Structure 1
C-alpha cells in the first residue's frame, strides 16, 4: 500500500533499547501519523511524498520528562541563588503577581517554540492553569503530558488540595480524547502535600490509569525536614502510603542512599534526572549510574527555564552523561548510548507513554527529528552516537515531526511565528520589570 510519507536518511536510530544500534541507508514510511515500516532505501514501496534527508540522522524526538513551561517568561529573573531563597523570595512572589491564564498561554508557546527547534517532540509540564498550557501545545502540534500541580496551600490557581484535584480531573472534559495530550496528576512534593491528598491521588491515578509525577529528594533540607516531622525519609514515607508504583515518576532524587534505591527498585517507579537545574541550584547529584545498575528506569528533564536557563534536552543529555562519570568516578558510567536512551525511550517510559512514542517502531506515532551531520561542528565524524551526545548537535536539528506533521522544516517553525514569540516575550519582560 502507498504510504503518506517516506523519509530517506543516511543513519537511523530507532532507540527501541539502550544499545542505540545505528542503521544505515534506510527508509521510514509513515501513514496516518504513525510509523508504518522501516525498509532498505532500495525498497520499491510507494509514498505520496518523499523527503531526502541526505547526511542526516533520523531518530525519535526528544522527550522532556519534566518542566514548568510557562516559567520561560521568568528566564534569568533570579539567578545564582540557593533553592529556597530562589523560591521564597523571588519565584513564589513573582508567580503570585503574574501567573494567570494569559501568562501561562504565552509562556508555554515560547517554551514550545524553543523545544521544537532543539528536537523535542514531547514534553511533560507541571504548572498552574494547565488548560491554557495544553491549549498552547495543541495549537502548536507538540505532544504534551500535563501533570496538574497539587498542593496543600492556596495559589492563584486553587485554594487547597481538593480543588487542585478537581481542576485536574475537569481537564478530561476538553482534552481527554485529544491524541496529543496525556493527563496526569502532579503532587508538588512531600513537603507541600500531606498524607491524605497523597493517598487520594494514588487511588484516582490507579482508577483512571493516569501517570503521576512528584518532586522528590531534591535537597538535603527536604530529607532532614521529613526525618524531623515524620521520623522517616520522604521515599520511605511515600512507600508506606502506597504512593510509589510504575505509574510514578520521581523528579530530581539528588539526596538518596541505598535504602531509597532499593525502594525505587521494588516499586517500579522511574526517576527523572534534571542535571543542569540541580547543578545551578546546588541541589546535589543524582547517582544515575547506581540507579541504572539497580534496574531503575531513568528519563531526562530540563526543569523550568527559570532554573536552567534553557529547554534544550540535548544539552541536558550531554551534562547527564558527563556528570555521571564524575559522580561515579568512572569514565565508562552512563555511556553515550545510555544517555540517548534516557532522552527518548527512557523518558517516554517514565511518563507512561512508551507505547505511543519515544522510539521508531511500527505502530507508534511518527514523532521524529532529523539532525544534519554534514555541518562543520560535526566534523570529523567517527561515531554517530558519540557525536549526538557530546557535541551541541541540537544546533543541527533541521526537521521535526509530531504524529507525522512537520513542525520544523529546515530549521523554521511551521506552526509558530518566531518573530511574534520574541516580541511577546519582550513585552512580558517589560511588564514584569515595571512591576
Structure 2
C-alpha cells in the first residue's frame, strides 16, 4: 500500500473542472499540501494507507471558496454605518472613522477576525484591499490562510501612507518584494477608484505594474453617481480613463462593474478583464444590480466577492453564491440564468482565474493545492438531496461547513477552528467596539 498524508472520503465530490461533474463515493488524496489523486473510495481504501483518514458520509467536498474582493479589517466596522447610500456611507460613516482609528493594530485585529469568519464559512482564499497591506499578509501567513493582498492607492494622506506614490512604494517593498514566491501570499495593486487617483498616479501605476508583472484591481462603475461625478470632473467615464492609461487588460479585476454599457461589456470581454461581483453589498448600498448573465454570455470571467463586512455585513461566500444566483435570474427575467453549477464555479475557479491563481487553486485536480471545503448536507434544510450542487448553492449555510483545508492543513474540523483562538478574537472585537462606541481608548490585553 502507498502512504499518503490525508485521505478524504465524502459521499459526493464536485471538482468544478470538468464543469458540472459530480463524483459519487470518491476519495481525494493529499500529499505535501497538494492533491495527488481523485479516485473511487473503494480503490482508495485498497491502495492508500493515510496518516489521517477523514470520512464524511452525507457530505459534499468542493474546492475551497475564493472571495475575490473584500476589505478584511473592516469587520471591526460591521454595523457601524448601516442604511446609507454609498457616497454618504463613505463620507459620513466610514472615512471619518478610518481617519481616527485605522492603525497597524486595528488592521491586524480586524483581519484576524475576518480570516476566522471566512474559514468557518468555507473560504480558503481572499483578495484584500486595505491599508497596512503588509499587516494583512502577516496575519494571513500566521493564520495559514491564502490571500491576494492588494496595495491600496489613493491620493490623500492616510494613517498608512502620505500619497499615491508613497502607497505604491510601500506596497512594492512590504508586500510584493517580501512575499515573492510565497506559497500562500500573492500581491496586486488596488487603486481605490478613478475618483481618488490622478492621471499622473495612474501612469506611474501602469509602469510599476508592468515592471513587477503585478495585477491591478479597482472599484469600477459601482454606482451611477460615481459615473456622473467622473463625467462632470473629467468629461470621461471611469472605464475610459483606465483605457487611456493602458490599464484595461487581462491583469485587471474590475470590482462591482454594476453600470456597464453594452459597448463596455464587449470591451471587457475583448480585453480579458475579470469582474468581481459583490451582489449583497450592491443591494445593501442600493448601488444597482450587475448584468451578470449578459457579462457571462459575452465571455467575461465573473467571480464573486463579499466586499467588506461594513457593507454586507457578513463574509459568507455560501450566502453570496445564493444571492448571486437568485439575483441574476431576476435581472435577466430568466429562471435558467446562472444555474447552480455556474454559481459554484463563480465562487471557486472563476475567482482563482480572476486572481491569476487558476493553476494552483479553484478546482479539485491533481497537482493543485489542497484548498478544500466539506459541507454537511444531512441538515434538515438540505434534505432530501437530489442534486448536491443545487443543495450547496440554494440551501447550505456557513453552519454546515464541517471541514476546511488550506494547502492541506486542516483549518476547520467538525465545524471548529483548529488553529485559532476564537475567544481571543472575540475579546479583541469587544475591545474595539468599546473604543469606537465610546470614542476613547480602552486598555488592551
Gaps of at least 5 residues in structure 2 are 440-445
SS of the counterpart of 2:214? coil
Instruction: Report the counterpart of residue 280 of structure 2 in structure 1.
Output: 276
Structure 2 equivalent of residue 398 of structure 1: 402
CA displacement 1:365-398 (0-9 Å, x = unmatched): 0000111111222111121111111113322100
Q: Does 1:23 align with 2:26?
A: no
Instruction: Between 346-355 and 219-228, report the one with greater CA deviation.
Output: 219-228
Q: What do the CA deviations read for 1:398-427 (whole angstroms, capped 9, x no partner)? A: 000000000001011012111111111111
Aligned to 1:157: 160
Residue 435 of structure 2 corresponds to residue 431 of structure 1: yes
Please state if 1:73 is matched with 2:93.
Answer: no
Corresponding residue for residue 185 of structure 2: 181
Question: Could you tell me how far 1:232 is from its partner in structure 2?
Answer: 2.5
8 Å CA contact 2:289, 2:331 repeated in 1? yes
Alignment match, 1:60: 63
- Matching residue within 202, 207, 210 for 1:206: 210
Is the contact made by 2:86 and 2:287 (CA closer than 8 Å) also made in structure 1? yes
Unaligned regions of 5+ residues in structure 1, if any?
A: none
Among candidates 333, 342, 353, match of residue 349 of structure 1:
353
Deviations 1:7-64 (A, max 9, x none): 11110011125x3211101111111100101111122222332111111101101000
The structural deviation recorded for 1:173 is 4.1
Contact 1:236–1:263 (Cα < 8 Å) also in 2: no
Q: Could you tell me how far apart the structure 2 residues matched to 1:282 and 1:412 are?
A: 35
| Bigger mean CA deviation after superposition, 344-353 or 205-214 | 205-214
Q: Which residue is equivalent to 1:3?
A: 4
Offset of residue 178 of structure 1: 2.3
- Structure 1 Cα separation of the partners of residues 245 and 344 of structure 2: 34
Q: Provide the TM-score with structure 1 as the length reference.
A: 0.98
* Residue matched to 2:148: 145
Tell me, in whole angstroms, the C-alpha distance in 1 between the residues paired with 2:395 and 2:92.
Answer: 36
Among 168, 171, 174, the alignment partner of 1:168 is 171
Distance 2:268 2:177 in 1: 33
Alpha-carbon separation, structure 2, partners of 1:233 and 1:173: 34
Partner of 1:300 in structure 2?
Answer: 304
The count of aligned residue pairs is 434
CA contact (8 A) 1:378 1:391 kept: yes
Residue 133 (structure 2) aligns with: 130
The answer to which of 46-55 and 281-290 deviates more is 46-55
Rounded Cα–Cα distance in structure 2 between residues aligned with 1:298 and 1:229: 30
Change (3 A) 1:173 1:292: closer
User: 1:144 is paired with a residue of what secondary structure?
Assistant: strand
TM-score after normalising by structure 2:
0.95
Query: C-alpha distance in 2, partners of 1:54/1:392?
Result: 16
Partner of 1:374: 378
> Is the 1:300–1:342 Cα contact (8 Å) retained in structure 2?
yes
SS in 1 for 2:178: helix
- The counterpart of 2:222, out of the listed 211, 218, 239, is 218
Q: CA RMSD in A?
A: 1.1
Q: Answer whether contact 2:189 2:214 (CA < 8 A) is retained.
A: yes
Q: How much does 1:133 deviate?
A: 1.4
1:127-174, CA deviations, whole angstroms, 9 ceiling, x for partnerless residues?
001111111111111101101100111111111111000011012343
C-alpha deviations, 1:158-202, integer Å up to 9, x for none?
111110000110123432242100011101111111222222222
Task: Out of 49-58 and 265-274, give the one that drifted further.
Answer: 49-58
**3-state SS of paired residue (2:69):** coil
CA distance in structure 1 between the partners assigned to 2:437 and 2:289 by the alignment? 33
SS in 2 for 1:66: strand
The whole-number CA distance in structure 2 between the counterparts of 1:421 and 1:301 is 23
Does residue 1:267 correspond to 2:271, yes or no? yes
* Alignment correspondent of 1:107: 110
Aligned 8 A contact 1:20 1:340 in 2: no
1:190 counterpart residue number: 194
Task: Judge conservation of contact 2:14–2:63 (CA < 8 Å) in 1.
Answer: yes
Shift of 1:260: 1.2
2:33 maps to what in 1?
A: 33
User: Aligned-pair distance for 1:68?
Assistant: 0.3
Q: Give 3-state SS (helix, strand or coil) of 2:343's partner.
A: helix
Give the SS at the match of 2:218: strand
Shift of 1:111: 0.4
Give the match's secondary structure for 1:191.
helix
Provide the residue aligned with 1:45 in structure 2: 47
Alpha-carbon shift at residue 3 of structure 1 (Å): 1.7
CA contact (8 A) 2:328 2:338 kept: yes
Checking the alignment, whether the CA contact within 8 Å between 1:378 and 1:393 is kept in structure 2 is no
